[in-house]
């Protein structure tokens, strides 16, 4: 394979991989042109990439639940919100409860609370048929949003939380850098950078690290006996039970892991935008993440990543078209229409999504012929 | 005909499965009514009876999928009444379903790998801390899966998608997969329903082979030639109760059984 030329390799791609590659290539080209021509600044572009990274995390989280195990969770926004508010309330200056902690503390707290909440929701629902989780999670999403909106003395309500620190604000060196940041070699300034650009770069770096860690973790648990049992549960839970699997335990683990990843996305978001209000927990977020997972390919980790980026492309693309005055339509309405068309297209032509999941969930290096992998 | 017993034969030497007074109603309908029976270790025990006699319900009760209203179940001498299905598998009893369950999107060998019990890699932590153990177990399981598929003469299907299998092939895979979990007793619910006669004969041969190696079976089947060839003893269920138990030839010609099948008074 190493000697194969690039075109050969692309030729050996599946159709989905070709579509995905073409899509990503096209998007990158448009953005590059956009930057060169001056439609968007590099800083804003990086901000969008970071935001896409947040969607990637959310999609990977939902993929563990729906894609691996067939769990229907309609409260993506709630777990996202628990992570976002959990971290914000511990770190923000304006926090009505206990601001001022390091974002790392906020991160740990946000993830823990999400895990506990997932267990609490999971205990009564995961022992029952699939639909119970779906219904309960619909309720949960609203409950979390209402609590955030109404418990003002805890969450600041609709006023929102301000003064949230950057994730790396208190890190050595990074936290104390002066801006604009200038790199000297001897007396000559080699390189100057605006604060906002540096921050945008660091945020992208941060989300890339989060995604990489999550992705490697998920690859390991997915291509394994554990992932295989979940796949069995997804197609037929009774079958898994009849083969001696404690399906409740597997479903609970998948539900908690997925929810914690969603909360991680929330923590990242908080320290990206530095301002949080209950609007951020609107149900439409859940909707978009579902689209991302289904579009990318339910059960596919790569698909979740692709889907996450697609959502941002879709959101920003419609906004951009509107700003450019090319279409006389409200971008929000247009967006929903495109999403609708996309869903119909997937269901009709490619139910398995653009990048369908791994053919076999077997521990890498166990099958003959895979020893060289 | 003297060797056909009214009701089930109880007090067998070494029962692998035993039920005592099992009862299950769905609303006003009593599907299982005071059923006590035993499956002797090392036998192929047949379970027959007209449609709606309660055979599948009985399977669901003993395998933990339904909770009995009354009565108890024990496997290998351990009381498993009200245990979860997976716990009952842990005690050594594995069942299949009347309607084949196709693991969509899985390859045949992948589906086979779900069978083995107590896999280290089914827990999350060892995936990170003992990856070599996981790999070793996967290799062993794959090897066994291959042997098993060869034995059932479907080795060529190993990497095929289970979705593409015919009903008969799926039945073979189900049997092979159930064997992967090393059961003491295997419950088969209509293993040759919808299977062509040639394949049914083959399947009967495989079951005989496994039996000769000491595997115990409890088999529900409507195909009389199939069950008469394989099973001894045969338990006849009618309207939720055990009618008779006895050797195949005697059961076949028993008046009470004939009446039950003809819908006459039991
Ligand atoms: N979950 C259920 N809810 C309500 N009724 C049920 C349920 N399961 C079984 N029954 C009823 O219990 C009776 C026994 O059904 P069961 O499936 O055990 O019969 P069976 O002997 O397996 O029949 P067959 O040979 O047709 O498979 C039937 O009248 C059936 O309708
Ligand atoms: Mg039945």
The pLDDT tens digits for A152-178 are: 777 777 777 777 778 877 766 565 566
Distance CA(B165)–CA(B152), nearest Å, equals 15
B26 lines ligand 1 (CB under 6 A): yes
A39 DSSP 8-state letter? S
pLDDT tens figures, B207-227: 999 999 999 999 999 999 999
Average pLDDT over residues B25-32: 91
Q: Are residues B144 and B200 in the same domain?
A: no
Question: Are the beta carbons of B85 and A242 separated by less than 8 Å?
Answer: yes
Question: Is residue B1 pLDDT above 50, yes or no?
Answer: no
Q: Are residues B173 and B160 in the same domain?
A: no
Q: Are residues B83 and B131 in the same domain?
A: no
Could you tell me the pLDDT band of residue A148, with boundaries at 50, 70 and 90? Answer: confident
Bin B109: left if φ > 0, else alpha if -120 < ψ < 50, else beta.
Answer: alpha
- How big is the CA angle at B246 (ends B240 and B247), to the nearest 5 degrees? 130
Is residue B39 within 8 A of residue B185, CB to CB? The reply is yes
Q: For residue B156, give its domain range.
A: 108-164
* Structure-token match 């939720």, residue found: B240
Lowest-confidence pick of A128-142, A247-261, B129-143: A128-142
Kindly tell me the sign of the dihedral angle through the C-alpha atoms of B247, B252, B253, B259: positive
Cβ-based neighbours of B30, under 8 Å, separated by 6 or more: B23, B24, B240
Could you tell me the pLDDT band of residue A233, with boundaries at 50, 70 and 90? Answer: very high
Q: What is the pLDDT of residue A98?
A: 79
Q: Which helix (H) or strand (E) holds B30?
A: strand B29-40
Could you tell me the pLDDT band of residue B242, with boundaries at 50, 70 and 90? Answer: very high
Q: What is the pLDDT of residue A181?
A: 65
Phi, psi of B194 (to 5 degrees): 75, 10
Which range in A52-61, A345-354, B252-261 is most confidently predicted, on average pLDDT? A52-61
Lowest-confidence pick of A134-138, A228-232, B14-18: A134-138
Find the DSSP H helices in chain A: 6-11, 15-37, 42-62, 69, 76-91, 103-125, 130-150, 152-155, 195-222, 225-235, 237-242, 247-273, 284-296, 301-323, 331-349
Q: Are residues B121 and B251 in the same domain?
A: no
Cβ-based neighbours of A338, under 8 Å, separated by 6 or more: A314, A318
Phi, psi of A293 (to 5 degrees): -70, -45
Which residue among B113, B124, B181 sits closest to A221, beta carbon to beta carbon? B124
Cβ count within 10 A of residue A369: 6
Which CATH number goes with the domain that contains B191? 3.40.50.300
Question: Is residue A373 pLDDT above 50, yes or no?
Answer: no
Cβ count within 10 A of residue A96: 16
Question: Is residue A66 pLDDT above 90, yes or no?
Answer: yes
% of chain A beyond a pLDDT of 70? 86
Q: Identify the bridge partners of residue B93 per DSSP, sorted by sequence position.
A: B185
Cα-based torsion angle of the residue sequence A300, A304, A306, A310 in order, rounded to the nearest 10 degrees:
140
Q: What is the pLDDT of residue A215?
A: 95
Question: Is residue A301 pLDDT above 50, yes or no?
Answer: yes
Give chain A's domains with CATH numbers.
19-367 (1.10.3470)
Q: What is the pLDDT of residue A281?
A: 81
Distance CA(A280)–CA(B112), nearest Å, equals 45
Question: Is residue A1 pLDDT above 50, yes or no?
Answer: no
Tokens of B187: 């419950």
- Distance from CA of residue A142 to its chain's centroid? 20
Q: What is the pLDDT of residue B266?
A: 43
Q: Are residues B240 and B132 in the same domain?
A: no
Distance CA(B174)–CA(B154), nearest Å, equals 12
Q: Are residues B86 and B112 in the same domain?
A: no
Ligand 1: centre distance to CA B29 (Å): 10
Could you tell me the pLDDT band of residue A195, with boundaries at 50, 70 and 90? Answer: confident
B54 lines ligand 1 (CB under 6 A): yes
Average pLDDT over residues A252-256: 97
Q: What is the pLDDT of residue B181?
A: 93
Residues A302-323, buried b or exposed e (16+ Cβ, 10 A)? bbbbbbbbbbbbbbbbbebebe
Distance CA(B177)–CA(B204), nearest Å, equals 17
pLDDT tens figures, B193-204: 888 899 999 999
β-strand B216-220 against B185-189: which pairing, if any? parallel
Q: Identify the bridge partners of residue B238 per DSSP, sorted by sequence position.
A: B241
**Predicted TM-score (pTM) of this structure:** 0.90
**Nearest of A22, A24, A2, A26 to residue A13 by alpha carbon:** A22
B121 DSSP 8-state letter? G
Q: Which helix (H) or strand (E) holds B193?
A: none
Task: Give the ligand with the smallest distance to the CA of B49.
Answer: 1
Mutate which of B93, B99, B118, B122 to test chain A, going by most A C-beta atoms within 10 A? B122
pLDDT tens figures, A71-101: 999 999 999 999 999 888 888 777 767 777 8
Mutate to test the pocket of ligand 1, among B27, B31, B240, B261 (most ligand atoms within 8 A of CB): B31
Could you tell me the pLDDT band of residue B62, with boundaries at 50, 70 and 90? Answer: very high
Q: What is the pLDDT of residue B264?
A: 54
Instruction: Kindly report the average pLDDT of chain B as a whole number.
Output: 91
Average pLDDT over residues B155-166: 87
Cβ-based neighbours of A305, under 8 Å, separated by 6 or more: A56, A59, A60, A211, A215, A296
Q: Are residues B155 and B169 in the same domain?
A: no
- If one compares A151 and B158, the residue with the highest pLDDT of the two is B158
Distance CA(A334)–CA(A348), nearest Å, equals 21
Q: Identify the bridge partners of residue B20 per DSSP, sorted by sequence position.
A: B72
Distance CA(B176)–CA(B168), nearest Å, equals 13
Q: How many alpha carbons lie under 13 Å from residue B32 in its C-beta half-sphere?
A: 25
Could you tell me the pLDDT band of residue B63, with boundaries at 50, 70 and 90? Answer: very high
Is residue B117 within 8 A of residue B181, CB to CB? The reply is yes
Q: What is the pLDDT of residue A2?
A: 46
- How big is the CA angle at A178 (ends A176 and A183), to the nearest 5 degrees? 110
Average pLDDT over residues A170-187: 65
Q: Identify the bridge partners of residue B45 per DSSP, sorted by sequence position.
A: B218
Q: Are residues B173 and B151 in the same domain?
A: no
B contacts of A367 (beta carbons < 8 Å) = 142
Distance CA(A261)–CA(B92), nearest Å, equals 38
Classified as helix, coil or strand, B107 is strand
Report the residue of chain A nearest B175, measured CA to CA: A243
Q: Are residues B29 and B44 in the same domain?
A: yes
Lowest-confidence pick of A309-318, B106-115, B222-231: A309-318
Which range in A179-183, A321-325, B230-234, B257-261 is most confidently predicted, on average pLDDT? B230-234
Number of domains in chain B: 2
Q: Identify the bridge partners of residue B186 per DSSP, sorted by sequence position.
A: B94, B217
**Nearest of A367, A71, A12 to residue A223 by alpha carbon:** A367
**Nearest of A224, A255, A193 to residue A64 by alpha carbon:** A255
Q: What is the pLDDT of residue A367?
A: 79
Q: What is the pLDDT of residue A322?
A: 66
Lowest-confidence pick of A120-134, A281-295, A354-368, B73-87: A354-368
Q: Are residues B18 and B88 in the same domain?
A: yes
Average pLDDT over residues A259-277: 93
Instruction: Kindly report the average pLDDT of chain A as a whole number.
Output: 83
- If one compares A226 and A334, the residue with the highest pLDDT of the two is A226
Question: Are the beta carbons of A357 and B107 separated by less than 8 Å?
Answer: no
Q: Identify the bridge partners of residue B6 per DSSP, sorted by sequence position.
A: B244
Q: Are residues B116 and B98 in the same domain?
A: no
- If one compares A194 and A113, the residue with the highest pLDDT of the two is A113
Report the residue of chain B nearest A245, measured CA to CA: B86
Q: Are residues B129 and B158 in the same domain?
A: yes
B53 lines ligand 1 (CB under 6 A): yes
Phi, psi of B125 (to 5 degrees): -55, -50
Per-residue CA distances from A208 to A30, A179, A189, A204, A215 (Å): 22, 24, 29, 6, 10
Phi, psi of B74 (to 5 degrees): -135, 145
Which range in A120-124, A261-265, B194-198 is most confidently predicted, on average pLDDT? A261-265
Neighbours of ion ligand 2 (CB under 5 A): B 55-56, 98
Could you tell me the pLDDT band of residue B177, with boundaries at 50, 70 and 90? Answer: very high
B45 lines ligand 1 (CB under 6 A): no
- If one compares B229 and A150, the residue with the highest pLDDT of the two is B229
Distance CA(A34)–CA(A227), nearest Å, equals 41
């Amino acid at each position: 394979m190493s000697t194969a030329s690039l075109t050969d390799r692309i030729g050996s791609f599946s159709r989905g991989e070709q579509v995905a590659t073409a899509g990503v290539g096209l998007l990158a080209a448009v953005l590059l042109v956009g930057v060169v021509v001056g439609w968007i600044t590099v800083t804003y572009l990086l901000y969008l990439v970071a935001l896409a990274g947040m969607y990637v995390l959310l999609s990977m989280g939902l993929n563990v639940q729906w894609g691996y195990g067939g769990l229907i969770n309609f409260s993506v926004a709630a777990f996202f919100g628990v992570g976002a508010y959990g971290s914000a309330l511990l770190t923000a200056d304006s926090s009505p409860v206990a601001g001022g902690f390091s974002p790392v503390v906020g991160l740990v707290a946000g993830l823990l609370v999400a895990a506990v909440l997932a267990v609490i929701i999971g205990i009564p629902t995961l022992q029952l048929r699939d639909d119970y989780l779906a219904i309960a999670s619909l309720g949960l999403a609203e409950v979390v949003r209402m609590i955030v909106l109404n418990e003002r003395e805890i969450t600041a309500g609709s006023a929102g939380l301000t003064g949230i620190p950057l994730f790396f604000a208190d890190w050595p060196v990074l936290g104390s850098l002066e801006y604009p940041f200038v790199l000297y070699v001897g007396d000559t300034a080699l390189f100057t950078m605006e604060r906002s650009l540096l921050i945008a770069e660091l945020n992208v770096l941060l989300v890339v690290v989060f995604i990489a860690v999550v992705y490697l973790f998920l690859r390991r648990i997915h291509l394994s006996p554990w992932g295989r049992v979940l796949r069995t549960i997804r197609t037929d839970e009774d079958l898994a039970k009849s083969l001696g699997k404690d399906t409740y335990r597997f479903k609970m683990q998948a539900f908690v892991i997925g929810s914690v990843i969603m909360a991680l996305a929330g923590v990242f978001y908080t320290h990206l935008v530095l301002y949080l209000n209950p609007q951020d927990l609107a149900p439409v977020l859940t909707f978009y993440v579902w689209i991302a997972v289904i579009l990318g390919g339910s059960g596919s980790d790569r698909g979740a990543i692709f889907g996450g980026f697609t959502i941002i492309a879709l959101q920003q693309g419609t906004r951009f078209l509107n700003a450019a005055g090319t279409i006389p339509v409200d971008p929000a309405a247009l967006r929903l229409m495109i999403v609708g068309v996309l869903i119909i297209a997937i269901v009709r032509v490619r139910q398995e999504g653009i990048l369908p999941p791994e053919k076999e969930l077997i521990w890498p290096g166990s099958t003959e012929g895979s020893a060289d992998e | 005909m003297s060797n056909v017993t009214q009701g089930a034969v109880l007090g067998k030497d070494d029962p692998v499965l035993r039920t005592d007074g099992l009862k299950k109603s769905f609303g006003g309908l009593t599907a299982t009514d005071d059923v006590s029976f035993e499956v002797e270790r090392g036998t192929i025990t047949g379970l027959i009876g007209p449609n709606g006699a309660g055979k599948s319900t009985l399977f669901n009760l003993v395998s933990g999928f339904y909770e009995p209203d009354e009565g108890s179940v024990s496997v290998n001498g351990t009381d498993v009444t009200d245990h979860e299905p997976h716990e009952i598998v842990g005690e050594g009893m594995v069942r299949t379903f009347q309607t084949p369950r196709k693991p969509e999107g899985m390859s045949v060998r992948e589906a086979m790998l779900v069978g083995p019990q107590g896999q280290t890699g089914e827990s999350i932590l060892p995936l990170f801390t003992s990856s070599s153990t996981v790999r070793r177990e996967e290799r062993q399981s794959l090897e066994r899966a291959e042997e098993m598929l060869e034995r059932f003469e479907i080795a060529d299907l190993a990497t095929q998608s289970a979705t593409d299998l015919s009903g008969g092939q799926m039945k073979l895979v189900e049997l092979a997969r159930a064997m992967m979990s090393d059961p003491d007793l295997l419950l088969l619910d209509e293993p040759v329903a919808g299977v062509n006669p040639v394949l049914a004969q083959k399947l009967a041969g495989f079951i005989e082979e496994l039996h000769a190696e000491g595997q115990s079976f409890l088999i529900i089947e409507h195909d009389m030639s199939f069950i008469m060839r394989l099973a001894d003893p045969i338990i006849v269920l009618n309207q939720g109760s055990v009618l008779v138990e006895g050797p195949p030839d005697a059961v076949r010609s028993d008046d009470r059984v004939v009446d039950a099948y003809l819908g006459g008074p039991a």
